[in-house]
Amino acid sequence: MKKSKPVGLILSGRLADSTLARFPALSRDAGPVAAASRRLASRFSNALRGGYPITDWAELASARMIWLQVPASELGQTLQSLVEAVPCWKGRIAVLLDAHYDSTALEPLSRCGAAVSSLTHAPLLDSDIALVEGDLAALRQLRPLLRRARLRTVQMKPGAKVHLSAGLSIATTLTGPVTDASMRALRAAGLDQAIAKRIVGKLMETEVRNFQAHGRKAWVSPAAEIRRDLTMRHLVAVGAEDAAHGRFVEQAFQAALEWYGDSLDAESKATEA
């Protein structure tokens, strides 16, 4: 008879980018591993080098703590199947392994008496930071497992992971277009791509460091008196070279200025144009 382990796993989707793949030491606490089929469960178990595949999800009842990693599109059906397979949830812990959805997504299990939480990892190379949120009862049981895996735990506000997701999305979604806009302006000046990349890369790195060190004080407004006329010239030149590029740069400047409670002088711009 297999020795019962403290953690049951329900897995689906890509494993390569998961928290379990990032922190392999967590898998040593794995017991029953469930998936859409026993073959898939076996594949996940082998990839993690932990746990054992099961066919009957009722075997998850042997685990006091159950971790779920499934795509959002499958979560509703997975939770329904889990509630049917494990009738008693009082005293159990359910942990959602997801970078974007928090413990509120496990509400069907919470209604049944489970303490719920979510777990993800900080998206940094070689990071040992585990980001958690949820019911205090769940976090009390989860923390010892994270400590045994030699992870540092950072607790977020319950139900607020959407803000984490938004922050990551802002960094990953907006940095590229802003970098591209800067590169295009340098290329229009006649610089070759290699030199433009070096200059923009170093500037971006320096500005990020300055802002981390000094906050908004490090930011020089394009609408400041000493820069306003030059900013207007920039917008006119970039727009004349490429209208779409010009609109992006102007809108980005305007959005940044509004965010910091400032604005470009429209009359000065019109005169310069």
Domain boundary among 141, 159, 177: 159
| 144 and 200 share one domain | no
| 25 and 105 share one domain | yes
Residue 2 maps to a domain: no
Residue 49, exposed/middle/buried by CB under 10 A (0-12, 13-18, 19+)? exposed
| 176 and 123 share one domain | no
Residue 209 maps to a domain: yes
| 133 and 175 share one domain | no
Cα separation, 146 vs 128, in Å, equals 10
Domain boundary among 159, 177, 210: 159
| 152 and 82 share one domain | yes
Handedness of CA 119, 144, 51, 86 (dihedral sign): negative
| 264 and 142 share one domain | no
Instruction: List the chain residues with pLDDT less than 50.
Output: 1-4, 267-273
| 188 and 245 share one domain | yes
| 184 and 223 share one domain | yes
The CATH number linked to 81 is: 3.40.50.720
The pLDDT of residue 163: 93
Residue 148 maps to a domain: yes
- What total of structural domains would you count in the chain? 2
| 43 and 127 share one domain | yes
Residue 172 Cα distances to 98, 176, 182, 201, 221, angstroms: 18, 7, 16, 15, 23
Residue 139 maps to a domain: yes
Residue 73 maps to a domain: yes
| 173 and 89 share one domain | no
Per-residue pLDDT reduced to its tens digit, 106-159: 999 999 999 999 999 998 878 899 999 999 999 999 999 999 999 999 999 988
Joined together, the tokens standing for residue 162 give: 């959407």
Side by side, the strands of the sheet bearing 7-11 are: 52-53, 30-34, 7-11, 65-69, 93-97, 115-121, 129-134, 152-155
Domain boundary among 159, 176, 209: 159
Residue 1 maps to a domain: no
| 257 and 174 share one domain | yes
| 127 and 177 share one domain | no
Do the strands 115-121 and 93-97 form a parallel or antiparallel pair, or are they unpaired?
Answer: parallel
Expressed as residue numbers, the domain containing 112 is 7-159
Joined together, the tokens standing for residue 160 give: 């607020």
